[in-house]
Amino acid sequence: MPASADRYLEVQRSEEFAQLRHKLRSFIFPTTIAFIVWYALYVLLSAYARDFMSIKLIGNINIALVFGILQFVSTFGIAWFYARYAAKELDPRADAVYNELENTPEAAATTPEGSAS
């Protein structure tokens, strides 16, 4: 049986949970802002710097095409980097918070393993 609402609030107020939120936000906010700026740059250049974006680099490959492909590359790069960051920084902290929540005397008494038969 899950822990009580009071226990959830207690864990939410804990230092470990605050550190987990801080680590998550310190990755998510800067990365999101950087990606939005990068995307907006691509859109603005495509709309207002057509001469620049139409410069051919190799054959029919121009700067606009390279920027468009880099949008996909950066998206996959961010996803890959986040997966590594989460595995190293977030998952261990989340597991610790989860174990703290589940390994309480109240939670143990309400589980089949902790109940007296």
12-41 pLDDT tens trace = 888 888 899 999 999 999 999 999 999 999
For residues 64 and 62, what is the distance between their CA atoms, to the nearest angstrom?
5
Q: Do you know the residue count of the chain?
A: 117
Give the three-state DSSP class for 113: coil
Give residue 110's pLDDT.
45
The per-residue pLDDT string of the chain (117 residues; one tens digit each, 9 = 90 and over) reads 456 788 788 888 888 888 999 999 999 999 999 999 999 999 999 999 999 999 999 999 999 999 999 999 999 999 999 999 999 999 999 998 888 888 765 544 444 444 444
